Copies of this chain bind each other. A is one copy, B any other.
Amino acid sequence: MKKIKVGVAGYGTIGQRLADGVAMQEDMELVGIADLAPTLSLQALREKNMVGANGITYKLYLVDGADKAAFAAKDIPVAGTFEELCKEVDIMLDSAPGGVGAQNKANYYDKYGVKAVFQGGEKNAVADVFFHGYANYEKGLGADYLKLTSCNTTGLIRAVDCLDRKVGIEKVAITIIRRVADPGDYHRGLTNALQMEKAPSHQAVDLMTIMPHVDATGILVHTPVTHGHIITVLATAKDGKKITKEMALEAFQAHPRIRVVTLEEGFKGNASFFKYARDLGNRRGDMYEIGLWADSIVESGNDIMFAINIPQESVTIPETIDAIRAAMRMQETREEGTAATNRYLGIGAFKKA
């Protein structure tokens, strides 16, 4: 089988995890990664002799404006230019800072016929399809440019789509308790404060773009923590139908990318998932699944309310891999596409245990 050739533009928090994710896919080849400056992440990669996930060597290409001498000063080997990388790949995962993706598209992707999957920081207009692996896989089939939902929206849609396919959802109201920075961030932060955003939150609006039959709104509050967002969701079924706790729990437990846990097991909050992923020995202490507390599920009249945990650094990786599968028509259905991604990433294995 010919492997799909993939590049990753931007080796930041998301980009390095995308590279790892691609490196795990046996039907894909990670041609290379691209970046602008010799960041800590690239210094770490060099310390490991450029060997990343799955024992794969990551070749580094420099984007326009990069200072080659700065890389040499840190002994980081360079394989070529971003343009050269573009010539080699079938599809680019673009996780460059917001706005740069649009430039890359204009300068290179169009020129070399490279498909691209953009991350949440890019404007919707950059893409033909606003994509989520579980909610609208079919829309991505054969598309040239796809944009992934952001981390909160990706995790939220997993849960809402899961319920929707079981009982039919017509309305959701969400409260996003957002982590404000990632571990190791110093350029943004919040100290002893909860910060409000103007409502409705963009995540609710984005959900409606992906799932237009659902009415969504919500409020977002920033909190001074780093290990995962928590979202509470109140979901209303169509036609006045009641959703019981049992119905919801059954749906969530069957979903490969939702990890149902309890307080009793020791999952006391967002940091428990991070600790658990570290203890699992997961690379970077990452988790691909969202968490869902069984103890949080409560009925509100006919509606159902529950809380999920979003591992912000890694949650979009599986759906981005799904996007490659859809765009390259590697699999024609959401079931096959997501199943392939899950198999290579080891997602859902614990469900059988």
Contacts and interface: CB of A to CB of B under 8 A. Distances in A.
A65 interface: no
A169 interface: no
Interface stretch (A160-168, A185-193, A317-325): A185-193
Interface of A: 16, 39-41, 43-48, 52-53, 74-75, 171, 173, 175, 177, 179-181, 183-186, 188-196, 198-200, 215, 217-219, 221-228, 230, 232, 234, 236, 263, 265-272, 274-276, 278-281, 283-285, 293, 295-301, 303, 305-307, 350, 353
A270 B301 contact: no
B305 A219 contact: yes
Contacts of A53: 281
**Closest CB pairs A-B (n = 7):** A184-B275, A189-B189, A44-B279, A195-B269, A40-B266, A175-B175, A193-B271
Given A190-B191, A192-B225, A223-B223, A299 B263 contact: no
Contact of A189 (B40, B47, B224, B303): B224
- Tell which of A39, A269, A280, A353 has the most Cβ of chain B within 10 Å: A269
A84 to B, nearest CB: 25
A40 B196 contact: no
